Chain A
Amino acid sequence: MSGEQRLQLLVNGRTHEVLAHPGERLLDVLRDRLRLTGVKEGCGTGQCGACTVLLDGRAVASCLMLVADAVGHQITTIEGLAPPGRLHPLQRAFLKHGAVQCGFCTPGMILSAKALLDQNPKPTEQEIRHALAGNLCRCTGYRKIIEAVQAVAGKADRRG
């Protein structure tokens, strides 16, 4: 494609140099160029939350962000949440509490939960529900997701 530029992206603690049009969506660059396919697309309009990534620790919809706007920020995807072969406490809690069914919303849901707990380590149930309001889950009815987040919020060390 014409107009491609060399861009430096900080993803999951590493610097990646990618050739991309600055107007491409961050979602596409992560999925297609860096093969980070844990970032999902459910709607392309910021309404479902499946494409959630962390930008400097904040949960953002990567389908609504141009890649150029992500340059210079720390991006975290589900693949970077824990070192290879290990699970983050949120990932373990989602498994243990049955908070995963089809798994399509799960990466975005876990990242939104991480953003919440990093900002507010002891959230109330209502605060958890509101923090996850931008992430749709059609399988679980959310109760087991809330319980998983509560289980982790009760523990001191969440660094995985």
Chain B
Amino acid sequence: MKHIAIGKRIPRLDGVEKVTGATLFGADLTLPGMLWGAVLRSPHAHARMRRVDTSKAGRMPGVLAVLTGRDFPRDDGADMPVLARRKVRYQGQAVAAVAAETPEQAAAALARIKVEYQPLPPVNDVREAIRSGAPAVHEQSEDPKLPNVCGVAEVRRGNLQAGFRQAHRIFEDTFETPWVHQGFIEPHVSLASVDPASGRVTVWTSTQAQFNQREGLAHALGLPIGKIRVIGLPVGGAFGGKNALCVEPICAQLARRAGRPVKMVVSRSDDFYATQPCGAAVIELKTGVKKDGTLVAFQARLLFDTGAHPGAQHSTGAVLAQGPYRIPNLHVKAYAVYTNKPPAGARRALTSPHVHFALESQLDIIAHALDLDPVEIRLRNALRKGDPVLGGASMPYTSAGKVVRTAAERAGWAHRARSQARNGKARGWGIAAGHWSVWAGASSAWVQVNEDGTIAVITGAINLTGTNTSFAQIAAESFGVPVDRVTAHQGDTDTSPRNDGSWGSRILFGVGEAVRRACEDAKRQLAESLSNELGVPVGRIKVKGGRVRVAGRGGRFLSLAEAAERAAGYQGAITGKAALTDLPFGVAVAAQVAEVEVDRETGRWQVLRLVCAQDVGFAINPMSVEGQVEGAASQGIGYALCEEYLYDSAGRMLNPDLMDFRLPTAPDHPQFSVHLIEPQQDAGPFGAKGVGEPPLVPTAPAIANAIFDAVGVRIRRLPITPERLHEALQRGG
């Protein structure tokens, strides 16, 4: 089928303002009379707060508002307090805040706040946390036998013991993944003002989820939702790190107290200490397998470090732990465990990268032990069309095997050279797969047909990844007009229909489908309006190919502009609407082959080539889809290579900067090749589904497997820093 707008590599509609530096991000905004907010943060990972004295700070020059935990209505339970009360549970936790005329005055005022702490022994990792007698981060545990547990999720299928009895061999391995920051380059930022007459609060912020922010702010401030307007700004990277509230409630409360607008820009170090990074995990797998590599039993204990407050996404980990494979007998038990670390939050693909690092590494271990090809063992067990997937989804259109086979074939797996040493360097190949379920959530859109026949798409979805460009393509295709006849707009919580956040690869899938349906609604309204005006049955009017056909005797064509102008005159406005929550899951599988080169002397390694295959449903904008795949894989390279929060024994972070918490740079990156599989049958618009999360999932295990292939050393803990690999090479694995 020939398309006019979809399936095309169209540059981002907001691209010109980005390449010229004209895009205004949060830090670029100012308001008349604006003050600067600043936060006092805890130097301790775990301490009782005996006293907070802000009397001197309040009298400092230029200071207009001072806040402590008492200034928020919420109590300090397991629920995350905006400002700490009675106890601090991680280094960097917000304790007090000020607003002043200048940033310097705000900083000077913070220095005059006195907090008396009684330090407590910190809980530094999950194994320590669940040992009996461990210090309690919170007073209660969800598990009567284990301390510091805040959530348990279990998944069972078949008969585990019977499965293990069928097994030819049983493999038991433990894997670890680190705390990592999402790595967005724009730090958190917020600006708030209050209307003095109504008390209504407006917050401008770099967020993925403006409607969810509105709800969270209402809760934090004790205000009804209707008293809050959130204006989502252009976002300088987020990757899950801007799902949740950060300084917004503090900013809003300071503005309410001071009666002036307040701006807060979070420093890079505070963004490391005190936002919601991705938590660590310890993953214990016990897997039973037949001689031919068929998986028959799978038992997993997943310990997710949720830091000081719930948010580790342990249940997602439980559901995805089996990977894109058929396993008849399984029992997965996942725990979210408190420690004195920052509260864990979302990162691209949530806990899918954690569990797939473990499973995909173990599959490689099994393949080598049974002398099977790593591709073959995956194909043997891959989910097939129609197979159920844990969590209620199923594999609708593409088998996981097809994705694995595509990656292997495109990489030339069958003809790969055996690892060869050159100048003390060895090369190796690794493969891994992974999956993610895309769900639509609350998705809605309005489509306005202007009286000149141009079309405006309005949604409340944050345009993180260029989805507005894809929305314009969808609307253009629906009406049969070129993309330059369409504009796409991100409204705010006052000016657009409600949407869930831009997370989980759901925007193009869910909101894109809402845009398509809203276009159909607008076309129907257009036809009805013309039918009434012209006295022609509505069935004879069709909006197609950029014009309107009126069939029957004296049939004719109207241009879309002419039809729109008539309809506007007749019924005032044509505004199509759609809202949905109910699309079936879009199960998305990705597979990647990595080729690496390892220096045996130093442990340094480099990915030379990364071949990425993915079932994307349908690529509305292939350039944008490739960008998602490569960007996600890039984060996977960082996860494998260098990203890791480092702590001392007192629970203080040792590397809160971008030199010591290193993100991969241009020279760290390989040649990517991206291969999209497009069955065009998923429930999203024109058969599309979400694409942003899955390609992060296989990258780190594909690399770990390639390193094993090169040097015969299995690293079970990310990141595989040169130091860690060097040490393992010295030990001989």
Contact = CB atoms under 8 A, between A and B. Distances in A.
Interface of A: 31, 36-45, 47-48, 50, 77-79, 81-82, 87, 91, 94-96, 98, 100-107, 110, 126, 128-130, 132-146
Contact of A141 (B17, B28, B465, B630): B630
A139 B663 contact: no
A91 to B, nearest CB: 4
A66 to B, nearest CB: 17
A54 B32 CA distance: 31
Contacts of A137: 185, 666
Given A98-B624, A146-B666, A38 B21 contact: yes
Nearest to A42: B185
Contact of A98 (B14, B27, B28, B627): B627
Contact of B237 (A39, A96, A104, A107): A104
A78 B21 contact: yes
A41 B633 CA distance: 25
A82 B21 CA distance: 12
Nearest to A80: B21
**Is the contact region of chain A dominated by helix, strand, or loop, or is it mixed?**
loop
Nearest to A98: B623
Nearest to B674: A143
B143 interface: no
Interface string B13-30: 011111111111101100
Contacts of A126: 667
Given A138-B237, A143-B672, A145-B666, A96 B11 contact: yes
Given A98-B623, A132-B666, A136-B665, A87 B19 contact: yes
B237 A102 contact: yes
Nearest to B466: A101
Nearest to B103: A28
Interface string B228-241: 00000011111100
A47 B450 CA distance: 47
Contacts of A48: 185, 268, 658
B387 interface: no
A74 to B, nearest CB: 18
27 contacts: A38-B21, A38-B22, A40-B27, A43-B658, A44-B268, A45-B268, A79-B20, A79-B21, A81-B20, A87-B19, A95-B11, A100-B19, A101-B466, A103-B234, A103-B236, A104-B236, A104-B237, A106-B21, A128-B666, A129-B666, A136-B185, A136-B665, A138-B183, A140-B630, A141-B627, A142-B634, A144-B626
B528 interface: no
User: Which of the listed residues B25, B185, B623 has the most CB atoms from chain A within 10 Å of its own CB?
Assistant: B185
B16 A95 contact: yes
Interface string B172-201: 000000000011111100000000000000
Contacts of A140: 627, 630-631, 634
5 tightest A-B CB contacts, nearest first: A38-B21, A104-B236, A103-B18, A141-B630, A141-B634
**Is the contact region of chain B dominated by helix, strand, or loop, or is it mixed?**
loop
A129 B667 contact: yes
A30 to B, nearest CB: 11
Contacts of A135: 666
B9 A98 contact: yes
Given A98-B624, A146-B666, A138 B239 contact: yes
B465 A101 contact: yes
Nearest to A134: B665
Nearest to A105: B185
Contact of B184 (A98, A138, A146): A138
B156 interface: no
Contact of A47 (B20, B234, B657): B657
Interface string B636-654: 0000000000000000000
B630 A143 contact: yes
Contact of A45 (B239, B626, B658, B667): B658
Contacts of B268: 42-45, 48
A141 B672 contact: yes
B103 to A, nearest CB: 10
B267 interface: yes
Nearest to B182: A138
B414 interface: no
Contacts of A45: 268, 657-659
Nearest to A90: B19
A87 B669 contact: no
Contacts of B444: none
B12 interface: yes
A104 B24 CA distance: 10
User: Which of the listed residues A38, A107, A134, A141 has the most CB atoms from chain B within 10 Å of its own CB?
Assistant: A141
Given A37-B28, A41-B27, A136-B663, A110 B19 contact: yes
A77 B22 CA distance: 12
A133 B666 CA distance: 5
A138 B635 contact: yes
B23 A103 contact: yes
Contacts of A146: 666
Nearest to A144: B627
B464 interface: yes
Contacts of A40: 25, 27, 185-186, 236
A107 B672 contact: no
Contacts of B667: 126, 129-130, 133
A42 B187 contact: yes
Given A38-B20, A102-B235, A106-B19, A138 B657 contact: no
User: Which of the listed residues A82, A95, A130, A137 has the most CB atoms from chain B within 10 Å of its own CB?
Assistant: A137
Nearest to A82: B20
B21 A37 contact: yes
Nearest to A84: B20
Given A42-B186, A50-B185, A87-B16, A141 B633 contact: yes
Contact of A104 (B185, B265, B465, B627): B185
Nearest to B465: A101
Interface in B643-694: 657-659, 663, 665-667, 669, 671-672
A142 B658 contact: no
B22 A136 contact: no
Given A40-B186, A47-B658, A104-B185, A138 B11 contact: no
Contacts of A103: 14-15, 17-19, 23, 234, 236
B20 A91 contact: yes
Contact of B657 (A31, A43, A91, A141): A43
Contacts of B21: 36-39, 77-79, 106-107
B19 A138 contact: no
A104 B25 CA distance: 8
Contacts of B22: 38
A140 B183 CA distance: 13
User: Which of the listed residues A39, A43, A96, A138 has the most CB atoms from chain B within 10 Å of its own CB?
Assistant: A138
A130 to B, nearest CB: 6
B19 A142 contact: no
Given A142-B669, A143-B671, 4 more contacts: A38-B20, A78-B20, A91-B20, A139-B627
